[in-house]
Amino acid sequence: MNLRSVKPPHETRTRILDAAEELFMQHGFEATSMRLLTAKAEANLAAVNYHFGSKDALIEAVFRRRLDPMNTGRIAELDRLEKEAGGRALSPEEIIRAFVGASLRMIEDAKSGGRNFIRLLGRTYTDPQKHIRSLIGQLYAPAMSRFKAAFERALPQMPGDELVWRMHFMFGTLAYTLAATDTVQLIAGCKPEDRYDARLLEARLTAFLAAGLLAPLHNAADVKKAA
Amino acid sequence: MNLRSVKPPHETRTRILDAAEELFMQHGFEATSMRLLTAKAEANLAAVNYHFGSKDALIEAVFRRRLDPMNTGRIAELDRLEKEAGGRALSPEEIIRAFVGASLRMIEDAKSGGRNFIRLLGRTYTDPQKHIRSLIGQLYAPAMSRFKAAFERALPQMPGDELVWRMHFMFGTLAYTLAATDTVQLIAGCKPEDRYDARLLEARLTAFLAAGLLAPLHNAADVKKAA
DNA sequence: GTAGAGTTCAAACGTTCGTTTGAATCAGGA
DNA sequence: TCCTGATTCAAACGAACGTTTGAACTCTAC
């Protein structure tokens, strides 16, 4: 029995995923070389191609590992809330919290690299590569349609296109807030340790998003008339 | 006089900037090679290094060309509004519109590549490379502090850290909304030509942002108690 | 018409990239 | 103990990268 045999099966795979998550976040996909990545994972250069097939397949695996459970959890949480509410309609705040909470709980989970992943994810929503965006879209699609239906029930009076846009705005606020923490420092000095008091952030985000979602409806006719 | 002499002076520089703007948007910085870029600009491979010095310097020039006038315009618009208002305090909506309007006016300007730039910009806020983010931060700093002061005058009752966070949220919504148009299609089918009716989008965005900015203040003590 | 600065050009530089290869090493069952 | 499939390893592959070079070319001013 040599030293290497103490590793559980597939540990190399996991070490590669962890290293990839962190390095992709720090440097981006293209700027992270397989040599740097495998060195950090304490694996051989060929290990990525052996275990995943290619660099692109590794990227996909990084997202699937975290995103599938996260969105499954979001849907389950929504199911739970609706069952708990019986026939009563959920409030917009409850629905927002079910969505936002999943991200923040992963950020709070400091032991696993969840925070790395959330920041990576925020950056990837706007990645220029089409196959990456379509992967993200594909992984989000079930949760998206589920939450859209929930919002429609909670806000039956809101026009469909308006709801789509406001969901887009909410989604963007969440993605950007968790990815671009530097901007807060840009706006004003802000102690780093305050940045991720997840519970306080959740309250701030939810209040902001709920208010935006429930903003008074503009009058499209007025907008066009003013033009 | 040969064919090339019909080009105005520095036109090669401009063609390179235009090509870079479009290709950086489509493929990102790293994935855009100098060979592809100079081919699109109908320039020699060495032209970028001759006119700009390096690829990094080209990236910086792309941002400076658009961002400097845009933020100068934002500040001028705010100055104009305040002068027009005399002593009266500006409303949050007016301030938001002054900021958002600059982005949307550039998107509307379809002839120049303004729309490309705005999308590129939205993606770059979350770029992993530190020197790029710090460049963006540096170019935004004057407008940021100017608008922060304006919001403080408009909302004297709002705590400082709360305002910083809400500005962060607003900034994120704007950046993401203009960069990740694909997500709207993900949430629900949406005709592409509707996506950038800039005037309608400005109304939607401003309503959402103003409502979020003016959201009821949460009670931080309650949040901590609930934890 | 010629000197000279500004610009363009083809070619090559050294480096790094993702991937492949084939041998070496491992664990576990017959 | 030996076989077998799974995994790791060092080494090399061809391609693509950003940059540099020095000659060729263009236009202006004298």
Taking only the tens place, the pLDDT of each residue in B135-153 is: 998 899 999 999 999 999 9
CA of A7 to nearest chain B CA: how many angstroms apart? Answer: 32
**Tell me, in Å, how far CA of B44 is from C1' of C10?**
9
Query: Measured on CA atoms in the order B79, B81, B86, B91, is the torsion positive or negative?
Result: negative
pLDDT tens track for B176-195? 888 876 666 666 555 544 55
Nearest to B208 among A141, A190, A212 (CB): A212
The residue whose two tokens read 């020039």 is B61
Q: How far apart are CA A165 and CA A193, in angstroms?
A: 33
**CA A185 to chain CA centroid, nearest Å:** 22
Structure confidence by residue, pLDDT tens digits, B193-203: 455 677 888 89
Q: Which nucleotide is at minimal CA–C1' distance from B31?
A: D17
Q: How far apart are CA A42 and CA A15, in angstroms?
A: 8
Q: List for chain B the helix, strand, coil content (%; round to 5).
A: 75, 0, 25
The alpha carbon of B178 is separated from its chain's Cα centroid by a whole number of angstroms, namely: 8
Instruction: Determine the angle formed by the axes of helices A130-154 and A114-124, rounding to 10 degrees.
Output: 100
B168, B206, B214: best mutation site toward chain A, by most A Cβ within 10 Å? B168
A173 φ/ψ angles, rounded to the nearest 5 degrees:
-60, -45
Report the distance from CA of residue B54 to the C1' of nucleotide C4 in Å, as an integer.
26
Look at B188 and A214 and tell me if their CB atoms are within 8 Å.
no
- The kind and range of the H/E element at B78 are helix B55-85
What is the DSSP code string of B177-202?
Answer: HHH-THHHHHHS---HHHHT-HHHHH
Residue B178 confidence (pLDDT): 83
pLDDT of residue B182: 65
The answer to whether the Cβ–Cβ distance between B31 and A200 falls below 8 Å is: no
Interface test mutation site (partner A, options B27, B155, B173, max chain A beta carbons within 10 A): B173
b/e for A128-166, b at 16 or more Cβ within 10 A?
A: bbeebbebbeebbeebbeebbebbeebbeebeebbbbbb
pLDDT surpasses 70 at B222: no
pLDDT at B110 over 80: no
Name the closest nucleotide to B12, judged by C1' and CA.
Answer: C7
Tokens 């203040």: give the residue: B217
Report CB contact under 8 Å: B227, A199: yes
| CA dihedral sign of residues B188, A77, A172, B101 | positive
Instruction: Provide the positions of strand D that have an atom within 7 A of a protein CB.
Output: 7-12, 16-22, 25-27
For B3, other C-beta atoms within 10 Å of its C-beta total 6
Q: Provide the pLDDT for residue B186.
A: 61
Give me the A residues in range 51-70 that sit within 7 A (CB) of strand D.
51
Of A186, A210, A217, the CB nearest to B140: A186
Chain B residues whose beta carbon lies within 8 Å of the beta carbon of residue A186:
137, 140-141, 144
Question: Which of these, B142, B160, B167, B133, lies nearest to A191 by C-alpha position?
Answer: B160
The answer on pLDDT for B224 being more than 70 is no
Chain A residues near residue B144 by CB distance under 8 angstroms: 186-187
What's the CA A9/C1' C27 distance, rounded, in angstroms? 11
Closest-CA distance, A125 to chain B, in angstroms, reads 7
Share of chain B above pLDDT 90, in %: 56
Q: What DSSP letter does each residue of B91-142 carry, written as one string? A: PHHHHHHHHHHHHHHHHH-TTTTHHHHHHHHHHHTT-S-HHHHHHHHHHHHH
CA of A226 to C1' of D23 (A): 62
For A172, the closest of B165, B180, B217 (CB atoms) is B180
Identify the pLDDT of residue B197.
Answer: 74
pLDDT at site A8: 47
Q: Mean pLDDT for each 10-residue chunk of chain A (227 residues)?
A: 42 95 92 96 96 96 95 96 92 96 84 82 84 88 94 94 92 87 60 63 93 86 52
Rounded CA-CA distance B30/B124 in Å is: 12
Q: How confident is the model at residue B220 (pLDDT cuts 50, 70, 90)?
A: low
| Rounded-to-integer distance, Cα B24 and Cα B40, Å | 12
Q: Is the pTM here over 0.85, yes or no?
A: yes
CA A130 to each of CA A46, A133, A134, A161, B156: distance values in angstroms, whole numbers, following the listed order: 26, 5, 6, 25, 45
Using a CB-CB distance cutoff of 8 angstroms, which residues of chain A are in contact with residue B20? none
- What is the rounded CA–CA span in Å between residue A155 and residue A213? 10
